[in-house]
Amino acid sequence: MEIELNRFTPAEQATFRLRALYEQAGYRKYRASRFEEYALYQEYQRFLPDSQVITFTDLDGKLRAIKPDVTLSIAKTAQPAAGECKRFYYNEEVCRPSRESHTFQTIHQMGLESMGAVDADEQAAVVRLALQSLAALNVPTVLEVSHMGYLTGMLDALQVPAEARGRILDFLRAKNAHELRTAALAAGLDEAAAAALTGLLELHGPLGATLTAARAACRCDAQRAALDELQALQNALGEDGRGTQLDLSMADEMEYYNGLVFTGYVAGIPRAVLKGGRYDYLMQRFTPGANAIGFAIYLDELERLAAPLPPVQQQGKEKTWLNIALPKGRLGDKAYKLLAGAGYSASEDYNDTRKLVVENPDACVRYFLVKPSDVAIYVEHGAADIGIVGKDILTESGADVYELLDTGMGKCRMCVAGPANFADDESRALRVATKFVNIARDHYERRGRDIDIIKLNGSIELAPILGLSDVIVDIVETGTTLRENNLTVLEEFMPISARFIANKASYKFKYAQLTELLNKMKEALAK
């Protein structure tokens, strides 16, 4: 009896199709144990997506962990002989922390690993399988490739200090040109070096054209070697690689990957559904001289494809619309005025209606009016493609989005404030009152200061006055409220302004429209 795949969920359909694809390509199924000795994850923490794992003591007294990763287990047991290439695929569940719920969640993955004698042909074959895996989903997809050697080569050539690389990589991941330049200059780099780093953000687009642009920006042999490898990949893929994109600012999981990396996106899903690349350094810890490449597909994400579009998203779906989240209130009014000045006004004034959604069918834009603290969440989860949000809210939320522009609107600063005569007693934990818990924690962690955080939602200035806290961490615009309550700014540590942000998947699928809007905003700001 022939199986009718349309009766199954998108994830189930993908499982059937991918299994057939991988077995036809000569991959054998690998069945991993649900549990693994915790010592394995302790030793290889830097290669894990997250070092937090659930542990328990087994009946034999050994400390074990619920599996957070499949690749480590396969790499440990594969042990390919010299000149041998072992090929496995898997369909497994792993357990990792959830940033949204602050609990552990089960993640369903399907992927493959090629280990041992991995040459250029084998590498191209794996990337081709990644492309075929995306194509098997029967929806529009994008595969982006990069090479860690190009990025690390640039950092080395510019002599970026080791202590500054983490922040610089964070800004690259976020496509945050403004703060990337500031961080580069603060690290002691000159203007030319800072421009070279921000120039990495422009090395994004079709594989062939971007390779040409990247060669002109090369500064060392390591970068040229990385581009030669990417060129060989393009040649090997041929027509199969048509539509593949290159993004040389891709900096995810640099501890894990050492060479070619690639990421796959699916239209309608706000996050990457496929991640992979070379992980030779990890493989060589288990089998000296061996190399490895692989990828995983996050099947849980595919279930979104079964959900019908809400009515507001269905309207006008014959065109490509940009969905924009605006914060209610004064900042939202300023942001809308800026967008309207750039040619993206709505057909009706949202201040004259109780509607939460207003549109301009001619410009193909749709505005959602949301609480300021929710803008980044709407964008991260794909309900909106883009949004304008204060840097304070964006940082506090930790939303995984692209930060494309500092609009300069709503300027203020994040400060530590307290009584003018305050003297920090470092023999005890500092009591800090704030509504920005994550920002305060990160700030004092960088300083190595032990603190007790008191979460408040309003009237933060009252806390040190009544002895509830020693200091506060809060936004300061003019400082008038502080002065009237006999408080003063003790430390200023983060400039705040409104930022233009984009969902990562939307950036791939609506790049032309999004970039056009962004450029028009820049022009409007320059007037």
Q: What is the mean pLDDT of the chain?
A: 91
Q: Give domain status of residue 234, yes or no.
A: no
**CATH assignment of the domain containing 27:** 3.30.930.10
**CATH assignment of the domain containing 477:** 3.40.190.10
* 146 secondary structure, DSSP code: E
- Report the percentage of the chain scoring pLDDT > 70: 96
Domain finish residue from 280, 307, 334: 307
Do residue 335 and residue 439 come from a single domain?
A: no
Q: Give domain status of residue 159, yes or no.
A: no
Do residue 330 and residue 474 come from a single domain?
A: no
Do residue 384 and residue 419 come from a single domain?
A: no
- The domain in which residue 13 lies consists of 1-140+289-307
Nearest residue to 312 (alpha-carbon basis) of 389, 376, 384: 384
Query: For 326-332, what is the mean pLDDT?
Result: 91
Domain finish residue from 274, 307, 340: 307
Do residue 491 and residue 516 come from a single domain?
A: no
* 137 secondary structure, DSSP code: T
Do residue 492 and residue 515 come from a single domain?
A: no
pLDDT for 265 equals: 96
Q: Give domain status of residue 42, yes or no.
A: yes
pLDDT for 1 equals: 43
Do residue 57 and residue 121 come from a single domain?
A: yes
pLDDT for 232 equals: 96
433-474: per-residue pLDDT in tens? 999 999 999 999 998 999 999 999 988 999 999 999 999 999
For the cut 80, the answer to whether the pLDDT of residue 40 exceeds it is yes
pTM summary value: 0.91
Contacts of 100 (CB under 8 A, 6+ apart): none
In 373-460, the DSSP E strands lie at 386-390, 402-406, 412-419, 430-434, 451-455
Nearest residue to 67 (alpha-carbon basis) of 88, 89, 48: 48
More confident call, 300 vs 101: 300
Question: In whole angstroms, what is the distance from residue 366 CA to residue 455 CA?
Answer: 35
50-66: per-residue pLDDT in tens? 778 888 888 888 888 88
Q: Give domain status of residue 63, yes or no.
A: yes
Q: Give domain status of residue 194, yes or no.
A: no
Round to the nearest angstrom and report the end-to-end CA distance of the chain.
Answer: 68
256-296: per-residue pLDDT in tens? 889 999 999 999 899 999 999 999 999 999 999 999 999 99
User: Distance between alpha carbon 235 and the CA centroid of its chain, in Å?
Assistant: 29
In 196-253, the DSSP E strands lie at 204-206, 245-247
**Starting at the edge strand that comes first in sequence, how are the strands of the sheet with 204-206 ordered?**
28-29, 85-97, 104-116, 291-298, 274-278, 260-266, 141-147, 245-247, 204-206
pLDDT for 167 equals: 92
Q: Give domain status of residue 214, yes or no.
A: no
Q: Hey, which residues does 94 pair with through a beta bridge? A: 107
Do residue 420 and residue 344 come from a single domain?
A: no
Question: In whole angstroms, what is the distance from residue 451 CA to residue 134 CA?
Answer: 47
Question: In whole angstroms, what is the distance from residue 400 CA to residue 34 CA?
Answer: 29
